[in-house]
Structure 1
Amino acid sequence: MTPFAELMREDRRICLLRALGCMPERRANHLVLHEALDSLGHGVGVDVLLADLTWLAELGLVACDCLKSGGHGCTVVTLTPRGMDVALGRSTVPGIKRPLPGDLPDPEAL
């Protein structure tokens, strides 16, 4: 993977965690997260999004629940306390961009 592609992947992952931190109950479905990523400059396919969510879940940063209805699937994603620590820059995980001090949201807003 090129350095730029790696940078984009790391930024996309922190964007996902931070977006979840701003959602009611710290959860959203993958379609809402797909729109959030697009609005943040990460226009990727749903397959890339789902791969990132699977990777984040394997690390215990999010929990994913797959729901099926009428032949269509939806993944509901919930931010874990560990994921919140990473989103706020309290913890670091290789493969996820660490937020810069000026980029950190107000913890009370999350």
Structure 2
Amino acid sequence: MAMLQVQAEHQRISILITLKESADFGANTSMLADVLQRYALGCSRDQLKTLLNWLEQNGYITLDKLTENTWVARITRSGIDVAEGISVVPGIKRPGPRG
């Protein structure tokens, strides 16, 4: 159980950092799935939707559900604070220092 919790924390911060670094502060589910896979944090589409719903419910992203399988996530100001390590949130890994 602890491994699943740690993995979810890493997935959530990876999603937030990806959205923060995106040119328009957003990405669709396909792009986010590819990013998580690249960092050995891959998950099913259902698991990704669960992560995105969690982030939306906590105010870190907004979701535009275009179709059942295609969602667009956009980071909020609160999400940027978490992605930059300014805010520390239970359930999301704090990012390491950059540089």
Superposition TM-score tier, normalisation by shorter sequence: over 0.9
Q: Give the % identical residues.
A: 34
User: 1:97 maps to what in 2?
Assistant: 93
Q: Shift of residue 73 of structure 1?
A: 3.8
The CA RMSD measured in Å over matched residues stands at 1.3
Greater CA radius of gyration, 1 or 2?
A: 1
Q: Deviations over 1:58-107 (max 9, x none)?
A: 01100001113xxx641011000100000000001110001122xx37xx
Distance, in Å, in 1 between the alignment partners of 2:66 and 2:3 is: 34
TM-score normalised by L of structure 2: 0.93
TM, length-normalised to structure 1 = 0.84
Letter in 2 for 1:90: I
C-alpha distance in structure 2 between counterparts of 1:34 and 1:23, whole Å: 15
Partner Cα separation in structure 2 for residue 67 and residue 6 of structure 1 = 29
Q: Which moved more, 1:53-62 or 1:37-46?
A: 37-46
Number of residue pairs matched by the alignment = 99
Map residues 59-78 of structure 1 onto 2, 5 A cutoff: 59-68=58-67, 73-78=69-74
Structure-2 separation of matches of 1:25 and 1:40? 22
Residue 9 of structure 2 corresponds to which residue in structure 1?
Answer: 10
C-alpha distance after superposition, 1:8-32 (max 9, x if no partner): 1101100000011111110011111
Please say if 1:22 is aligned against 2:4: no
1 or 2, which has the higher strand percentage?
1
Q: Which runs of 5+ in 2 are unaligned?
A: none
Q: Which residue of 1 aligns with 2:50?
A: 51
Q: Which runs of 5+ in 1 are unaligned?
A: 106-110
Identify the match of residue 88 of structure 1 among 84, 92, 95: 84
